[in-house]
Amino acid sequence: MSRIGKLPIAIPAGVTVTNNNGIITVKGPKGELSQKVDASILVKIESNQITFEVDENNPVNYKQKQAFHGLYRSLINNMVIGVSEGFKKTLELVGVGYRVSNQGNLIEFALGYTHPIFIQLPGEVKVETKSERNQNPILILESCNKELLGLICAKIRSFRMPEPYKGKGILFQGEVIRRKSGKSASAK
């Protein structure tokens, strides 16, 4: 059995979880999410707890069942946390002339290219931008779907990946980039 998969998930107040033929639906104050669970995993919802067990009669490979056990427990746990508390990511734009602004869910980036970059976000993601004098611009993203939020952050970071020589790029707030010295600092 998977060490992660064995742990039960506590259902907080205000959150409802239903299992309909292998499709788990979680509803809460922040939204509604659903996830299809493989037939080799048995999901039991009882007395404000969700437990996961491996179906020994299923013909799927044993190692694959163990992997699914921990995977689906983690996915459902993220859904429960997302609909009750939500997830938040803060990105910081480090670089001279880097700017970000938004109108609704349309974000405009100025990242040192000859053109601005626009990205339209889905409705489940809330966006907030902050630009203060003598501070790096900040982009705050909030959603109940952790997977979607991670994909969007990865896409935004791909516009200007952090680089180790000058430390410029789009960083998560608090992220430390390991700096390298340039070729002028090399031994002669």
User: Reading across the β-sheet that carries 23-28, which strands appear in turn?
Assistant: 16-20, 23-28, 31-36
How far apart, in whole angstroms, are the C-alpha atoms of residue 100 and residue 148? 20
Kindly tell me if the per-residue pLDDT of 77 is higher than 70: yes
Kindly tell me if the per-residue pLDDT of 1 is higher than 80: no
Q: Give the position of tokens 């998930």.
A: 9
Cα atoms in the 13 Å half-sphere on the side-chain side of 73: 25
DSSP sequence for 138-149: EEEEEES-HHHH
For the segment 86-100, what is each residue's pLDDT rounded down to a tens digit?
999 999 999 999 999
The proportion of the chain whose per-residue pLDDT surpasses 90, expressed as a percent, equals: 73
The confidence score (pLDDT) of residue 47 equals: 87
The confidence score (pLDDT) of residue 102 equals: 94
The confidence score (pLDDT) of residue 188 equals: 53
User: How much is the mean pLDDT over the chain?
Assistant: 91
Q: How confident is the model over 163-180, as a mean pLDDT?
A: 91
| pLDDT range class, residue 122, cuts 50, 70, 90 | very high
Q: Is 30 exposed, middle or buried (0-12, 13-18, 19+ CB in 10 A)?
A: buried
How far apart, in whole angstroms, are the C-alpha atoms of residue 69 and residue 53? 7
Q: How confident is the model over 71-89, as a mean pLDDT?
A: 95
The confidence score (pLDDT) of residue 125 equals: 95
- What is the token pair recorded at 94? 């480090």
Q: How confident is the model over 17-43, as a mean pLDDT?
A: 93
Residue type present at position 140: I
How far apart, in whole angstroms, are the C-alpha atoms of residue 92 and residue 105? 18
Q: How confident is the model over 19-38, as a mean pLDDT?
A: 93
